[in-house]
Amino acid sequence: MTVAHRISLLLLFVACVGFAKETPSIRLVEIRIENHDEVYALNQYKLTIVDAGENFARALMDDREIAMLENAGYHTTIVIEDYQTYKDEIFQRGFYRTYTQVYAALDSFAGAYPDICRLDTIGFSVLGRAIWAMRVTDNPSIEEHEPEIRLAGNIHGDEHIGTEITLYFLRYILANYATDPQVQALIENNEIWILPTLNPDGKVANTRRNANNVDLNRDNGYFWDAWGNSPAPMSQIENRVLARHLEENNIVLEYNYHSAAQYVNYPWDYHQADPPDSQHIITLSQIYASLSNLYAINGYDWYQITGSLQDYTIGTSGAFAWTIETMQPSAPSSIDQICYNNRDALLDVCARTGWGINGVVKNSVTGSLLYARVEFTNPERIDIYTDPLHGDFHKMVEPGTYTLRISANGYVPKTIENIDVPASTSVPVGEVRLVPDSAYHYAFRVNITKYAAHAEQGNKTQPRHVLGPPDSLFFSLGQNGYIVVDMGPGTPIHNSAGNDFTVVEGNDGTPEGYEVFASNDCYGPWLSCGSATGTASFDLMTAGLSTARYIKVVDDGSPSTGAYAGFDLDAVEVTPHVQVTELAGWPDLPARTMLGALYPNPFTRQLRVSYQVAVSGPVSLRIYDALGRHVSTLVDAVRAPGYYTVTWPGRDDQGRKVLAGVYFVRFDTDDASQVEKTVLLR
């Protein structure tokens, strides 16, 4: 028995124990409403609504919730008495793969098509099950400047059709790459991530929620509001590893597969206001719907939820994201037809990822690649980001003329005007070189926002408006609302003499109160830097921190209503302490020499190792087995200051595959030595 098989059996036993506790029976209930607008009044009960129409809403409820609604005057009808038994029967009758069978299929594909795919583990579930991700591209061992697509299923553990749709599409493109020009173009011009099972523990237990009884599609941090038993934004490990994957990869297009209705659901879910890209999003939604026999619908227009994955993806990264809802039949022929229809829709829409604008952002002095924000200022579109390691960006836009503004902390922003985008093609802006300027240091990316009755009060301000320098745009937090912003991975705030940063209030005519917290982890713990009213400056010393990458601004809870309720945040501006002439202080150069992330860990086929060098000198990066025996040398050379990535394919220096097990990565320079553990699964 292999190490991977022993681990799988152990985790299966743990899962059975973890799900053994008794839970109340869940029923599918239809709630009668007078008109569709009444579905929003149900939000006060934080029910798990799964469908809504003009005169009804359907929700998953226990007897306590049913009694609560009946006492409130609602008429309810039980549609399915025991929803868990109903789901179990569908799974048993239908041709739906188990978690173990999903891995077997992925492993088989990876072995059969090693030249165009690679199987990774992006992280693990609550009970330790791997969240698998298949990377498909023509050079799977090399990061190229190309758009990235993410297809995900089974975030609700009992919605297995999403697993089948993603695996069906994966099998089709792998098997037809050699002969089909359309598939060849798709794989050669894109990097495709396929994640068939986002909620492994829920899949094994055949439950909607994860092992902590949290609905993962209510737990994401963009306009989170404690729905679905979520105790805090991004509280679950499954969502955190998915968020890390989103930040580490330049995702352009994302589809998340569910089974509750027959819709192509597009953003926003939390608010009736459309994103600035809405016309293009609607057009793409209609194309997908027509090819998949589904119907395009706005998420909020269907029914409101907070903390959804599609809102988080587009809200924090700018990637276009959809929730695809299909039926979940038990007949194999019906399952195949749904997979077939979605395959055709995916082939068409994914071919359009290169229709828009692309480029690469670099340091004008060193030529190093930059992690930058790309704003579309005229006409306005949602911001996107370059790939953190490779500096490239890709934005899907409709034909037209655009103006871009590209910025990164520690550099002078650059504006590019009059970019003409024709139909059916991508326009490269080439290498965009930014000039270093340490005085430019502002909030760089939004991580988390707390929903505070934004839709109910007509608050249409957007979190992205707090990024960059102060201007006329701001985000109103709402009463007791908050926001978490990232100052940038290489540009945290440093404590120095005096105040270190300023929170700038937007002008809505009323100075308002708030409290500021700082941390080096976007999920906390948070240390207070103090409270204020209106624009004010703060000292990191108050929080006892020498550096802080993340800033959290919390409304003070004073009574506040209307379109600009709560504190109005315009910008977070850092006090410059480093002069431009001091090259060593420029944030594109590493502050110290060190070994970085091992990803994925554990891994199955290839381990990505990152490291950074602050001072030129010899670098050694070697792999050792659990007995301390040398296995492979990855680096043995002199390296200039910068950030580097190297991969280990699980082979020794003679090119032979090594056995599954524990290995150690040792990093040595003249002034540093570091060892990290990794696990290879076969």
Distance (Å, rounded) from C-alpha 163 to C-alpha 113?
A: 20
pLDDT number for residue 15 = 40
- Average pLDDT of the segment spanning 111-116: 96
- Average pLDDT of the segment spanning 240-249: 94
CATH code at position 495: 2.60.120.260
**Residues 181 and 56 reside in one and the same domain:** no
The amino acid occupying position 238 is E
CATH code at position 429: 2.60.40.1120
The model's pLDDT over 610-632, given as tens digits with 9 standing for 90+, comes to 888 888 889 999 999 877 789 99
- Average pLDDT of the segment spanning 175-195: 97
* pLDDT tier, 330 (very low <50, low <70, confident <90, very high otherwise): confident
Of residues 640 and 365, more confidence is placed in 365
**Residues 519 and 639 reside in one and the same domain:** no
Distance (Å, rounded) from C-alpha 397 to C-alpha 280?
A: 7
Cβ atoms of residues 572 and 503 within 8 Å? yes
Q: Is residue 541 part of a domain?
A: yes
CATH code at position 675: 2.60.40.4070
**Residues 223 and 117 reside in one and the same domain:** yes
pLDDT number for residue 589 = 56
**Residues 179 and 216 reside in one and the same domain:** yes
Closest CA to 479 of 391, 358, 560: 560
Q: Is residue 582 part of a domain?
A: no
Across the chain, what does the average pLDDT equal?
91
| pTM (two decimals) | 0.82
pLDDT number for residue 577 = 53
**Residues 289 and 229 reside in one and the same domain:** yes
Final residue of a domain: which of 404, 434, 464?
434
How, if at all, do strands 527-533 and 48-52 pair?
A: unpaired
**Residues 330 and 475 reside in one and the same domain:** no
Give residue 454's domain range: 445-574
Quickly tell me which residue has 């999903």 as its tokens: 102
Q: Is residue 7 part of a domain?
A: no
Our measurement of the distance from residue 124's CA atom to the centroid of its chain's CA atoms, rounded to an integer in Å, reads 15
**Cβ of 476: how many Cβ atoms within 10 Å?**
27
Quickly tell me which residue has 């009970």 as its tokens: 127
- Average pLDDT of the segment spanning 25-47: 94
The model's pLDDT over 82-99, given as tens digits with 9 standing for 90+, comes to 999 999 888 887 789 999
- Average pLDDT of the segment spanning 516-539: 97
Half-sphere exposure for 676 (CA within 13 Å, toward CB): 17
For 480-492, what is the HEC assignment?
CCEEEEECCCCCC
* pLDDT tier, 31 (very low <50, low <70, confident <90, very high otherwise): very high
- pLDDT of residue 588 exceeding 60, the answer is no
- Average pLDDT of the segment spanning 108-131: 94
Partner residues linked to 414 by β-bridges: 406
The amino acid occupying position 630 is H
Question: Which residues are CB-neighbours of 483 under 8 A, at least 6 positions away?
Answer: 446, 448, 449, 450, 463, 466, 475, 477, 552, 553, 569
* pLDDT tier, 287 (very low <50, low <70, confident <90, very high otherwise): very high
The tally of domains found in the chain comes to 5
- pLDDT of residue 286 exceeding 50, the answer is yes
**Residues 418 and 465 reside in one and the same domain:** no
**Residues 555 and 464 reside in one and the same domain:** yes
The model's pLDDT over 470-514, given as tens digits with 9 standing for 90+, comes to 998 999 999 999 999 999 998 999 999 899 999 999 999 899 999
Question: Which residues are CB-neighbours of 37 under 8 A, at least 6 positions away?
Answer: none
**Could you give the strand order of the β-sheet that contains 426-434, starting from the edge strand earlier in sequence?**
392-396, 356-363, 426-434
Distance (Å, rounded) from C-alpha 454 to C-alpha 631?
A: 56
**Residues 221 and 111 reside in one and the same domain:** yes
* pLDDT tier, 429 (very low <50, low <70, confident <90, very high otherwise): very high
* pLDDT tier, 447 (very low <50, low <70, confident <90, very high otherwise): very high
DSSP state of 58: E
Buried b (16+ CB within 10 A) or exposed e, 620-657: ebbbbbeeeeebbebbeeebebbbbeebbebeeeeeee
**Residues 163 and 274 reside in one and the same domain:** yes
**Residues 110 and 242 reside in one and the same domain:** yes
Q: Is residue 515 part of a domain?
A: yes
Q: Is residue 581 part of a domain?
A: no
pLDDT number for residue 141 = 82
CATH code at position 314: 3.40.630.10
Q: Is residue 225 part of a domain?
A: yes
DSSP 302-365: H---SS-HHHHHHHHH--EEEEEE----SSHHHHHHHHHHHHHHHHHHHTTTTSEEEEEEEETT
pLDDT number for residue 438 = 86
Q: Is residue 396 part of a domain?
A: yes
**Residues 331 and 209 reside in one and the same domain:** yes
CATH code at position 33: 3.30.70
Q: Is residue 534 part of a domain?
A: yes
Helices (H), ranges, 113-180: 161-176
Distance (Å, rounded) from C-alpha 185 to C-alpha 190?
A: 8
- pLDDT of residue 604 exceeding 90, the answer is no
- pLDDT of residue 586 exceeding 50, the answer is no
Q: For 407, list phi and psi in degrees, rounded to 5.
A: -140, 155
- Average pLDDT of the segment spanning 282-292: 97
pLDDT number for residue 670 = 82
pLDDT number for residue 14 = 38
- pLDDT of residue 289 exceeding 50, the answer is yes
- Average pLDDT of the segment spanning 379-392: 94
